[in-house]
C-alpha cells in the first residue's frame, strides 16, 4: 500500500500520516523507489490513532495507548488510568467553556445589537464598570 491508499483507508490525510511517521508513531517500510510501503498493521495502527484522536487523546496519550495495545501483558488499569486522566481534562474544559457560555449568553441578551454605541458587552470588559 502506498500512502495515498492508506490515507483513503484510514481516513487520515497523507500529510498527517507522514507527520506521524516523523514523530515515530508508525514506521512504514520503504520501497526501492523510496516510496513508503504500508502493511496491514500500519493501517491498523493509524485507524487506532485516528479513533483515539477523535476521542481527544493527545499524541503522547496515543503513543502510550498504542504501546499498551501491543503489550499482551498490559494491565487494563494502565489503560483506564490514561483514559481517566483524559476524561478529567475534558470535564475541566467543559466546565470552563460552560462558564464562558453563561457569561456570554447573558451579555449578548443584554445587548441591544442596534446602531447605537451603548453596549453591555464592552461595558463588562471595561475596567470602569467594575
Partner DNA sequence: ACTTGACCTTCCTGTTGGTGGAACCCTTAG
Partner DNA sequence: CTAAGGGTTCCACCAACAGGAAGGTCAAGT
Q: In angstroms, give the least distance from the CB of 93 to DNA.
A: 13
Query: CA dist 29 to 37, 49, 81, Å?
Result: 5, 19, 33
Q: Which three cell numbers stand for residue 11?
A: 481516513
> What per-residue string of b and e applies to 77-107 under the rule 16 or more CB within 10 Å gives b?
eeeeebeeebeeeeeeeeeeeeeeeeeeeeb
User: In angstroms, rounded to a whole number, what is the distance separating the alpha carbons of residues 32 and 37?
Assistant: 10
Residue ranges in 39-98 that form contacts with a second copy under rule CB under 8 A: 43-44, 47-48, 51-52, 55-56, 65, 68-69, 71-77, 79-81, 83-84, 86-87, 90-91, 93-94, 97-98
106 near a second copy, rule: CB under 8 A: no
100 near a second copy, rule: CB under 8 A: yes
Interface pattern 3-42 for a second copy (x via CB under 8 A): ----------------------------------------
Instruction: Single out the residue of 11, 39, 41, 60 in contact with DNA (rule: CB under 7 A).
Output: 60
Residue 30, classed as helix, strand or coil, is strand
Q: Of 30-38, 82-90, 95-103, 121-129, which segment contacts DNA by CB under 7 A?
A: 30-38
Q: Which three cell numbers stand for residue 10?
A: 484510514
113 binds, among DNA, a second copy, none (CB under 5 to 8 A by kind): a second copy
35 near DNA, rule: CB under 7 A: yes
Query: CA dist 45 to 15, 35, 71, 124, Å?
Result: 16, 19, 14, 49
Amino acid at each position: 500500500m502506498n500512502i495515498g491508499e492508506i490515507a483513503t483507508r484510514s481516513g487520515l490525510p497523507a500529510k498527517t500520516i507522514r507527520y506521524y511517521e516523523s514523530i515515530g508513531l508508525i514506521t512504514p517500510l520503504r520501497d526501492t523507489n523510496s516510496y513508503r510501503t504500508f502493511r496491514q498493521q500500519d493501517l491498523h495502527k493509524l485507524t487506532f490513532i485516528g479513533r483515539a484522536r477523535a476521542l481527544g487523546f493527545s499524541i503522547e496519550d496515543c503513543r502510550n495507548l498504542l504501546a499498551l495495545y501491543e503489550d499482551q501483558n498490559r494491565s487494563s488499569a494502565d489503560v483506564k488510568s490514561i483514559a481517566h486522566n483524559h476524561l478529567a481534562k475534558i470535564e475541566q474544559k467543559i466546565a470552563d467553556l460552560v462558564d464562558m457560555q453563561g457569561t456570554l449568553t447573558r451579555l449578548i441578551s443584554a445587548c441591544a445589537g442596534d446602531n447605537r454605541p451603548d453596549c453591555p458587552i464592552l461595558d463588562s470588559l471595561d475596567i470602569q464598570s467594575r
